[in-house]
A and B are shown apart, each in its own frame.
Chain A
Amino acid sequence: MNVVSVMSPAGCSHVNAYKVDNWRPNLRVIYQCFVWSGSAETRRRKAKSCICHMCGAHLNRLHSCLYCVFFGCFTKKHIHEHAKNKRHNLAIDLLYGGIYCFVCQDYIYDKDMEQIAKEEQRKAWKLQGVGEKYSTWEPTKRELDLLRHNPKRRKMTTNCTIGLRGLINLGNTCFMNCIVQALTHTPLLRDFFLSDRHKCEMQSNSCLVCEMSQLFQEFYSGHRSPHIPFRLLHLVWTHARHLAGYEQQDAHEFLIAALDVLHRHCKGDTTNDNGKKANNPNHCNCIIDQIFTGGLQSDVTCQVCHGVSTTIDPFWDISLDLPGSSTPFWPLSPGGDGGTVNGESHLSGATTLTDCLRRFTRPEHLGSSAKIKCGGCHSYQESTKQLTMKKLPIVACFHLKRFEHSAKLRRKITTYVSFPLELDMTPFMASRWASTNYLPPGLYVLVRYALFAVVNHQGTLESGHYTSFIRQHKDQWFKCDDAIITKASIKDVLDSEGYLLFYHKQFLEYE
Chain B
Amino acid sequence: MKMENMSLSGLDNTKLEALAQDIYSDLVEDACLGLCFEVHRAVKQGYFFLDDTDQESMKDFEIVDQPGVDIFGQVYNQWKNKECVCPNCNRSIAASRFAPHLEKCLGMGRNSSRIANRRIASSNNTNNKSESDQEDNDDVNDNDWSYGSEKKAKKRKSDKNPNSPRRSKSLKHKNGELSSSVNTDPYKYNYNTGINYETLGPDELRSLLTTQCGVISEHTKKMCTRSQRCPQHTDQQRRAVRVFLLGLSATSLPDSNTAVESDGYDASDGQVLMSRLQWDGSSDISPSDSASSKASTNNSDSKKPKKKKKTSLNSTGGGGGGSGSVGGSSSQGCLAGQANRKKPKLPVPPAPSIYDNLN
Contact = CB atoms under 8 A, between A and B. Distances in A.
A282 B283 contact: yes
Contact of A246 (B62, B109, B288): B109
A246 B99 CA distance: 6
Contacts, number: 444
B28 interface: no
Contacts of A461: 165-166, 168
A412 B258 CA distance: 30
Interface string B323-359: 0000000111111100000000010111111111111
B297 A315 contact: no
A434 to B, nearest CB: 15
B287 A3 contact: no
B15 interface: no
> Of residues B46, B231, B304, which shows the largest number of chain A Cβ atoms within 10 Å of its Cβ?
B46
A319 B262 contact: no
Given A314-B285, A375-B261, A406 B231 contact: yes
Interface of B: 1-3, 26, 30, 33-34, 37, 39-41, 43-54, 57-58, 61-63, 65, 70-72, 74, 76-77, 79, 82, 84, 86-88, 95-100, 102-103, 106, 108-109, 155-157, 159-168, 172, 175-176, 179-180, 231-232, 236-237, 239-240, 243, 247-248, 257-264, 266, 273-274, 276-288, 290-299, 301, 303-305, 311-314, 316, 330-336, 346, 348-359
B168 A161 contact: no
B259 A152 contact: no
A247 to B, nearest CB: 6
Interface residues on A, range: 35 or more
A237 B79 contact: no
B312 A282 contact: yes
A289 B283 CA distance: 13
Contacts of B237: 369
A159 B260 contact: no
A253 B161 contact: yes
B128 to A, nearest CB: 24
Contacts of A468: none
A373 B243 contact: yes
B346 A312 contact: yes
Interface class of chain B by DSSP = loop
B82 A486 contact: no
Interface string A289-333: 111110111101010010111111111111111000111000000
Given A230-B86, A244-B108, A509-B351, 5 more contacts: A264-B313, A284-B313, A289-B352, A312-B279, A401-B163
Contacts of B292: 296, 315, 317-320, 360, 387, 399
A170 B99 contact: yes
A233 B354 contact: no
Given A406-B298, A487-B65, A309 B262 contact: yes
A367 B239 CA distance: 12
A295 B264 CA distance: 21
Contact of A314 (B61, B159, B290, B297): B290
A3 B165 contact: no
B281 A280 contact: yes
Interface in A210-237: 222, 224-226, 228, 230-231, 233-234, 237
